[in-house]
Chains A and B, each alone.
Chain A
Amino acid sequence: MTEKTWSPTSRPTVSASYAFPAMVAVRLLVALVQPFDLIHDHQLSSPLTSYRNLQEGIHLFRNGIDPYSGGVFRHSPLYLSLFSTLIPKSKTFSAVLWTLCDALGAYALVHIWRARQGLGKHAHSTRDELVAGAYLFNPYLFLPSVALSTSSFENMLALLALMFASQKKQSKALLALSFLLHTSLSSLVLLAPVLLLLLSDPHSHLASPRAFSGDLKRLPSLMAEFLLYFSFLAVASCLASGGITWVSQTWGASLTLPDLTPNTGLWWYFFTEMFDHFRPFFLMVFSVHLLIYTAPVCIKFQYDLLYASFVLFGILGIFKAYPTLSDPGLFITMHVLFPEVYPYLRYPIVTALLHLHASLLMPLFHNLWLAQGTGNANFFYASTLVFACANGAAVIDALWAGLRIALGEEKEGWVIAQE
C-alpha cells in the first residue's frame, strides 16, 4: 500500500503566496461587475437563502412589521440582526461581503487539507492553491455567491466547523456548528460526524480501517457544550425577532415545505404533485430519510470521520428540502481533499457527463418553462432528476472508492466484489 505524501515546504514560493489573494481578487471583480442579474435565479438561491427575501425581511423589520408573521422571509433571526444592524444595504458592499465569505470558506478548506495531511498550521503544501481554487472557482459555488445567496454563508460555516474540528478547537467548532444549524436545519446530519471528528483525528485512515479510536466518554460533555451554544443562539434569536414565530417560519419551512418555488432538489415537484391526504406522510418520510444516512455512514467510516462528513455533504446536496447549487457544489469541491481515493473511483467520467448534462439542461428548461412559455414543468423536473442522478452517482462512487481503497490494488487472477 503506497500512499503519496504531499511534502510540506516551510517557505512557499513567491508565486504561491500570491495565488490565493489573486484568486480572491478575480472573484471580487466578477462579483462587482455582476455581468448577469442572477438574484432571481431559482437554481442559485432557494426561498430560504434568497437575497431578495432577506432584504424584504430587513425592510419589514426596520419598519416595525414582524417579518416572521408570514410572507417570503424565511432567514434565521441571526441574519436579520446581522444585516439590520451592522451591514449597510448596498449591493457593492454585499458583493464584497459574499466574496470575503467565500474566501474564508476557501481558507477553511485549505486548513482542513493541511490538518488532514498532518501539516502544521503555517506549513505550506504544494496543493494549497489547488484546494483553494477548487472552492473559489467551482461554478456551483461561485454562481450562488454572485447571486448573493446566503447558502454561501452556510457553506462557510460548515467548512469552519470542520476546520476547527480537525484542528481540535472544540468550542470554536461547536459554535460554528450551532450557527450552521440555526441557519439551515438540515445540517443536523453533520452533527454526529463533527462531534466524532473532535474526538478522533482528521488524518486519512481510509486505507487502514480500524475501530473508532477516540474517547466516547467525552461525547456527553461535547453534546452539552453544543446544546449550550445552540440554546444561547435560540434565545438570542427570540430576543432579536421578539417572539418565537421565527421557528415555524425558518426551521418549519424545511419540514413542511410551504413554498414550492422550483429548485434543483427533489422535493418541490414531488410535493406540488402530491395528493393532499398523503402530503403529511411523505413530508415525514422525506425528512426522516434525510436523517437515516447519518448513523450508517458514521459507523462505516468511524476511522475517518472527515470522509463521513464528506459523504453526508453529498447526501444533503441531493435530499435536503431547499437545496441550491451550492450544496452539491460543496460536495464536488470537497473531492479535492481526498486525492487518495481517485484511483478507485469506478465511473468518474459518467458522473461528470451527467453533471454536464444536468447543468446545461437545468437553466435551459427553467427558462423554457417560466420565461418563454414553450416548455412545461416536466422539462425542468426531468433535468433536476438527472441532476439528482448525477449527485447520487457521485456519492455512491465516493462510498465505493472510500471502502475499496482498503483492499489495495487488484492482483492478476483476483477480483474484488461484494458478498
Chain B
Amino acid sequence: MYLISTLVLLLCSSTIALENLVLEEEYTEYLSIRSLRDGKVASSFSFKTLLRDASPRDPRQLSFDDNQDASQHYTLFPLTLGQILRQYAITELHLTLNAGKWNYDSWGVPDEPGVGPGAELWAWMADGGTMSVDHRWQGLRNALAGLFCASLGSLDEQRTTSPQYAFPPEGTIPDLGLPHQIRHASHASEHVCTENLTPFLKLLPCKSSSGLASLLNPHRLFDADWHGMGIHVLWNPDGIEVHLNFQLVSDPLRPSTVQKQDWSLESLFDRTIQKSCPVAVTSQISVSLPSSGMYRITPEPHTLQGDNAHYELGSSLAEPFNVGIEWAGELEYPSALRDSSLMPISIHRTLQGPTQDKGRLLVTLRNNGPNELKVLYLETMPWLLQFYLHTTTMHIDGIPRNDLISNVSYILPVPHYQPATFESVLTIPGNATVRYSVDVTKAFLRYTEHPPDAQRGWDLPPAVFVPSTDSLRRMYAPALLVDLATPDFSMPYNVIIFTCSVVAFIFGSTFNLLTRKFVVVHLPEGN
C-alpha cells in the first residue's frame, strides 16, 4: 500500500520539480457519523493536507518578485489555495459557508465550531511590509470569491471587523517579529450551494472520484436540513495544514414512512465508496454508537474505541464499502428531552419593535448548569442597526442586574463605511435565565444602497458567544432579519425635479422681490 502511494506521489511530482520531494505532504481523510437524539444524523467530512516544514510567508517579502518564491510547487496541497495564501501572506484562514440554523439545544456541539449562518471569513495576518493588512484582506476575499464562486466580495469594509477575543488563532502564530492582526467578516444571506461545492472538491487530491469524497453527492448534501462547508488553513510547527470539511445534518425520518432512524451511507448519500483514494495516508470512518436502544451495525467495525466504531478504508476495496445502523424499533423522543439542552447555555436572540425606525434587540441566555458561567458576547453589527448603549439592561426574572455585564469594548459604527463591534463578558448565574436588551435605531439608506428585493429586509450577522470554560467552542446565535424603511425606487428623477422646482420657486420669487423696483402706476379711468 505504501509502495503504491509513493509511486503515485513520484509520478505526480517528478515532472514538476524534484526538490519538492524534500517537502513531505500528507493527506488524511476522515468521516464521522452520529445519530442525534431527535432522529437526525450528523455527518462530518474532514480532509486534511499537511505541508510539512512550510511556514507562512513574511509580508515584508511581498514586494519581492514572485518568481523567487520557489515554494509554490505542490503535489497534494491545493495549488490554487496555496497561491492565494502566499500572495497575500496569510497566516491563518477560516472560511465557512453554511445554510440553515444549527440547533445547539438538540444537536449538541458541532464537530466543527464554524456553524454560523451564511458566509463567514476570518484571517490572521502579520502586519508589516509595504502592503497593508486591509489591502491584503481585500485581495484575499476577492481571490476567495473567485475561487469558491461565492459573493465574498460583499464582505467589504462595511462588514469587516477586528474582534479581539472571540476568534483566537486555532493554530500557532509564527514568530516573524511582527504583530498579527485579525480581520473578520460575515454575511448571513450568502448561502452555500452546488457552485461552491465543485471548487471545493477540486481542492482535494482525489476530487470526488474516489475515497470518502466520493460520497459528497450534491443532490443529497444540499437536501440536508443543515449543511455547510469550511476551509481552514493554519500553521503548526509541523507545517501548514489545510483542513477542508463538510458537515451536514440529514433527516432519515423524512423519507421513511415509519418513524425509524435507520441510516446507511447509501441512504444518506445515495452512494457507496467504490474505491479508496490512493494518496490518503489514512482514510477512516467513525460511527458513534447510540447509547440506548436495540440496533445492529453493519459491517462489523474494524476497531472499537469507547462508544465509537472505526472503519479503515484500505488502499484497495474488494467490494463497494457501505456502513449503516438499523434499529429494532421506532424512534422514541421523550418529550421531557425536548426542553432540555445538550449545551451549557441556551441562546435566543430576537429583534423587537413594530416600526421601521427603531427597535429593541433582546438576547436571552439560559445557563443549563448549576455553576456560574462567564460568556464572551460579540456582536458585529452593520451600521444599518445602531445601538443605544445607554439603554442596555440586564434582567433575571424581571429584576435588574446590570452588574452582570462587564469588560465592554465598543467600536462605533460609521455610517456607510464601518460596522460596530461590541464585545462584553456576561455573567450568568447557575440555572438562571438572563435577559439582555438594548434599544436600536434603524438607519435610512440611500436608494442605491438597498439590495434588489429591498422589501425582504437585511440579514444581520449572527452574534457569537464563547463560554469561558471552552474558549475554542464558539456558539452562534441565529441570524436576524431587519426590516428597513425603503424609499420609492422608481422616483429619483421625480424627486430631483420636485425638490428643485420648490427650491427654484422660492429662490425665484425671493430674487424677484429683492431685485425689481417697486413702482406706482396710474390707471386711467375706465380701464
Contact = CB atoms under 8 A, between A and B. Distances in A.
Interface of A: 40, 42, 52, 55-56, 58-60, 63, 65-67, 69-72, 258-262, 266, 268-276, 289, 293, 296-297, 300, 318-319, 369-371, 373, 376-378, 381, 385, 388-389, 392, 395-396, 399-400, 403-404, 406-407, 413-419
6 contacts: A60-B389, A369-B485, A370-B485, A381-B495, A389-B505, A415-B520
Contacts of A261: 357, 444
B490 to A, nearest CB: 10
A272 B446 contact: yes
A65 B521 contact: no
A403 B514 CA distance: 9
Interface string B492-510: 1001101100110111011
Contact of A414 (B412, B414, B444, B521): B521
Contacts of B503: 266, 289, 319
A415 B487 contact: no
Contacts of A370: 355-357, 485
A416 B518 contact: yes
Contacts of A259: 415, 443-444
A275 B489 CA distance: 12
B488 A396 contact: no
Given A272-B447, A273-B496, A371-B355, A392 B520 contact: no
Given A270-B495, A414-B521, A389 B488 contact: no
A303 B352 CA distance: 58
A289 B514 contact: no
B354 interface: yes
Contacts of A66: 412
A396 B506 contact: yes
A260 B446 contact: yes
Interface residues of B, number: 58
Central interface residue in B503, B510, B523, by most chain A CB within 10 Å: B510
Contacts of B486: 376-377
Contacts of B499: 266, 269-270, 385
Contacts of B410: 60, 65
A395 B510 contact: yes
B437 to A, nearest CB: 15
Contacts of A56: 388-390
A42 B502 CA distance: 22
A418 B390 contact: no
Contacts of B389: 56, 59-60, 63
A300 B413 contact: no
Given A273-B447, A419-B516, 13 more contacts: A52-B388, A55-B390, A71-B386, A261-B444, A273-B487, A275-B492, A289-B503, A319-B503, A376-B486, A376-B488, A378-B491, A414-B520, A416-B521
B344 to A, nearest CB: 29
Contacts of B522: 413-414
A340 B502 CA distance: 29
Contacts of A300: 514
Contact of A273 (B416, B418, B485, B492): B492
Q: List 5 tightest A-B contacts by C-beta distance, closest first.
A: A70-B412, A59-B390, A392-B506, A71-B412, A70-B414
B256 interface: no
Contacts of A276: 446, 448
Nearest to A253: B415
A71 B486 CA distance: 21
B512 A418 contact: yes
B397 interface: no
Nearest to B493: A273
A215 to B, nearest CB: 25
Given A378-B488, A403-B513, A419-B516, A270 B496 contact: yes
B420 interface: yes
Interface string B447-468: 1100000000000000000000
Majority DSSP secondary structure for residues of B touching A: mixed
A389 B410 CA distance: 44
Given A63-B408, A71-B420, A399-B514, A392 B502 contact: yes
A377 B489 CA distance: 10
A377 B485 contact: yes
Contacts of B413: 70-71
A389 B502 contact: yes
A71 B422 CA distance: 13
A399 B510 contact: yes
A400 B488 contact: no
Contacts of A266: 499, 502-503
B517 interface: yes
Contacts of A385: 498-499, 502
Contacts of B356: 369-371, 373
B445 interface: yes
Nearest to B505: A392
A392 B506 CA distance: 6
Given A56-B388, A56-B390, A417-B519, A395 B408 contact: no
A29 to B, nearest CB: 27
B473 interface: no
Contacts of B523: 413-415
Contacts of A400: 513
A177 to B, nearest CB: 24
Interface string B412-447: 111110101000000000000000000001011111
B520 A416 contact: yes
Nearest to B390: A59
B360 interface: no
Contacts of B514: 296-297, 300, 399
A417 B415 contact: no
A388 B521 contact: no
Contact of A388 (B386, B502, B512, B513): B502
Nearest to A65: B410
B358 interface: yes
A72 B386 contact: yes
B403 interface: no
Given A258-B416, A414-B521, A40 B357 contact: yes
A148 to B, nearest CB: 14
Contacts of B65: none
Contacts of B443: 259-260
Given A71-B420, A403-B518, A396 B513 contact: yes
A395 B506 contact: yes
B355 to A, nearest CB: 5
B339 interface: no
B525 interface: yes
Interface string B11-46: 000000000000000000000000000000000000
Contact of B412 (A55, A65, A274): A65
B521 A417 contact: yes
A269 B505 contact: no
A391 B515 CA distance: 21
Nearest to B525: A413
A303 B506 CA distance: 24
